[in-house]
Structure 1
């Protein structure tokens, strides 16, 4: 593919990989060499926060957390939107030697509590939007606030209380100060897998991402994806800070299509990364909202976390005047495992998610033997970004991590040049715009609704989100609970993205001869 005229070509001799060993020293090189360079652009007024100011705030939070009785290797939860509070809390906790577990603020209180209890978090850091909800959590909840003035000066407020004597419980006894993060994968409330990532895992991931896209101090982006996922955390936030770039955090800490291009122009963005669903939204609105010649020239656009169809990719490239690079990764691989290269560094392959980046990738058959080029099998990944296993789940760790290889559960094929194409998933998770949803979990919640006898959850094809959530429900009494009551129950017990987009009341569900739910029959009968 030819390089679009608007895409910049960087002199390879100018690129320098970031000198980081983890979250602890993420800012150090920039504070020494470029202390007053902008690190973040925050609030609705788009105020710039320098690397020196950000490091000072993180150091203050670290001191307060240490003074509250937290020790090195202790786990803390972090429930924040994409705000300055998230960044300051994450880096402050790292500087205090703590292990941070970011959680989705939109999760119901029951799920937040279950995950924090399973982890054994000794404290939870919240921003104002969460603390104002008055949620009850199984650990001391401390509200954190960052006030940024128009002049770029900032102050942090954090009332910690005292944790007292450490009583390690849950999975936290498997952690140490070499660990940086615990990220939760998709799963049921009490069975969501906990992935521990060390500072070495983090550093390897950031070096790889920065090298793949040649990120540096001249680059800037807008935070589109949430930071409690690896996509937004590693690819947008941490890689930008490690490379000396700048990240704009949208007002209220979440993506808004209506302000996206104004945000991009305000920060002179050179790239951004998103899931296909957001790319589709931006493309659909481009005729009336894309600023054309007034848009900042983009070096590239990145897509990850779900498949992007070729037609959309080409349309985005034509509209935005930049190459769209597909990438692939998992929480267990510290996000990125493969990516298409910058056009001046290699060819773009239709339908591919690129070549391995900093890891080894193989495709194996059911016997664990490597498949020939072009033959489909399960994708396995090995390298310095791969986690050591799951916390408090030895059986699942043994199944997923084999002789240093991560069994991804994804199906794909490698071509002769090492480019990976994905062909599907082995497991039956529903992928709604990058959000991975467990149908079993949604079924369990539906079954708990008064008046519901049984339920089957399935994926419905969708042009924007890739898949949406459908449900077929059998009620106990024909004149009993209705559709709207069931959906209201779901909204109270599920994250917003898990709530079925379509719910049908049916007389019976199909079962296999062995007595299990026949998911293929459910899909064929109800998904169209």
Structure 2
């Protein structure tokens, strides 16, 4: 899937920037070409369909290139960044790609260390020399038959309900997310998707599963290797980005600075429950709609308020299910509850994870009818909006 999308995006958008990090810009054409060469390099090193490639990389162009390259040969990517080395203990990689100073010596593992350095020379195109040791200047292996069940990427839960778990998404889930986010329409060179600052690590759900949407819409992703309010604001002002996106913590930190953003058109809040006071403060400060979004890693897709909703909707709720997403509130025995009655929040869509890596389907997480138990507690009001009211312990439930 990513192989076809990357090639078509290169044809349609060419030199348009796909990923911008600091002064370095990687175009859609370069992303396709360099990921072809890295795919050839991965295959040369013995990586095969279904093998796991771990990216212990800072957020930036190398991460995206390697992710697309692995998908082109049917390998599975797990992005752990540079600060979550404990996650390696849960994985069995065929190859680890990293940069100097990140990993301790690892006996018995194939590791490629890229010479990634930013020299601050000003705006410039991406330097392929930064992929030395990994890419080969030759075509990648030929395409393989499509398989909706083939795993593509692993993301990790936050660890809120226990140790982080490796969540597997395959072609079927990525296709559902692509169809939801981009539909049947491609962007054009003149009318490609608006640029966005990516406020979360690239290995997390928000980027790892939505890269197909970015490719199809031609969206430029601005990436900061390490998020801070100052770094985020610098990128937004410099590039005239019209959407401020982040978690409640990130948005509160930006608000604390008190800086105006006159070109802003929308604020998107997600990743954790937002206090009504924060939603009101954001709307008052910037004078634009504020949308409140909700999902869990295992669900892939979730809920959200809309820019044209009444302002109080985002203050008191996380909105209504997105298209193709089913919402259910259930009691401890797995029985659906009526409106206004609080219980556990369950979500279902074609984007629901394949499962946890190395584990059989977990009845404490999956209901029999395909719903995912989120571990969050809430209720649906008479207008269909979901209100979150806390967390519940995940305990085995009767079939639902």
SS in 2 for 1:283: helix
Note the 1:254-273 alignment, pairs <5 A.
254-273=226-245
Among 321, 335, 339, the residue aligned to 1:356: 321
Alignment check: 8 A CA contact 2:51 2:93 kept: yes
TM-score, with length taken from structure 2? 0.83
Please report the TM-score for the alignment, with normalisation by the length of structure 1. 0.64
Q: 1:275 to 1:337 in 2, by over 3 A?
A: same
1:371 alignment partner, SS class:
coil
Q: Alignment partner for residue 245 of structure 1, among 207, 219, 241?
A: 219
Structure 2 counterparts to residues 14-413 of structure 1, below 5 A: 22-43=1-22, 46-107=23-84, 109=85, 111-116=86-91, 120-128=92-100, 130=102, 133-136=103-106, 139-145=109-115, 150-155=123-128, 156-160=130-134, 178-187=150-159, 192-210=164-182, 217-234=192-209, 239-250=213-224, 253-286=225-258, 290-293=259-262, 296-298=263-265, 300-334=266-300, 336-343=301-308, 348-357=313-322, 358-394=324-360, 397-403=362-368, 404-413=370-379
In structure 1, C-alpha distance between the alignment counterparts of 2:90 and 2:244, rounded to whole Å: 31
Please say if residues 26 and 242 of structure 1, whose CA atoms lie closer than 8 Å, have aligned partners that are also in contact: yes
Deviations 1:298-317 (A, max 9, x none): 2x211112111111111111
User: Residues of 2 paired with 1:177 and 1:126: CA distance?
Assistant: 28
- Retained in 1: the 8 A contact 2:53–2:77? yes
Structure 1, 260-269 or 136-145: larger mean CA deviation: 136-145
Counterpart contact for 1:123–1:142, Cα < 8 Å:
yes
Query: What's the offset of the Cα at 1:113?
Result: 3.5
C-alpha distance in 1 between matches for 2:343 and 2:173 = 26
Aligned 8 A contact 2:99 2:113 in 1: yes
1:474: which partner in 2? none
Shift in Å, 1:233: 3.6
8 Å CA contact retained: 2:9, 2:218: yes
Pair 1:242–1:342, CA change in 2 (3 A): farther
Task: Please list, as runs of the form range in 1=range in 2, the aligned pairs for 1:360-509 lying within 5 A after superposition.
Answer: 360-394=326-360, 397-403=362-368, 404-427=370-393
CA 1:129–1:179: 2 relative to 1, 3 Å: same
CA deviation after TM superposition for structure 1 residue 292, in Å:
4.1
Q: Distance in 2 between matches of 1:123 and 1:207?
A: 31
Report deviation, 1:138: 5.7
- Distance change >3 Å, CA 246–CA 129, structure 1 → 2: farther
Whole-Å Cα distance in 1 between the matches of residues 126 and 206 of structure 2? 29
For residues 194-249 of structure 1, the C-alpha deviation after alignment (integer angstroms, 9 at most, x for no partner) is 221102212212332457xx9972411112211222135446x6543332111112
Cα distance in 1 between the residues matched to 2:101 and 2:238: 25
C-alpha separation between the residues in 2 aligned to 1:378 and 1:114?
31
1:219–1:347 Cα change, 3 Å: farther
> How far is 1:48 from its partner?
2.8
Q: 2:279–2:314: 8 Å Cα contact kept in structure 1?
A: no
Q: Which runs of 5+ in 2 are unaligned?
A: 136-146, 395-400
Q: 1:28 to 1:351 in 2, by over 3 A?
A: farther
Give the CA RMSD over aligned residues. 3.0
Q: Give the paired residue count.
A: 371
* Residues 57/187 of structure 1: CA separation in 2 closer, same or farther (3 Å cut): same
In structure 2, the residue matched to 1:455 is none
| Paired residues of 2:148 and 2:172 also in contact (CA < 8 A) | no
Q: 1:419-454 deviations in whole A, cap 9, x for unaligned?
A: 1111111139xxxxxxxxxxxxxxxxxxxxxxxxxx
| Preserved CA contact (<8 Å) 1:373 1:416 | yes
User: How far 1:96 sits from its partner (Å)?
Assistant: 1.8
- Which entry has the higher C-alpha Rg, 1 or 2? 1
Change in 2 beyond 3 A, CA 1:347/1:283: closer
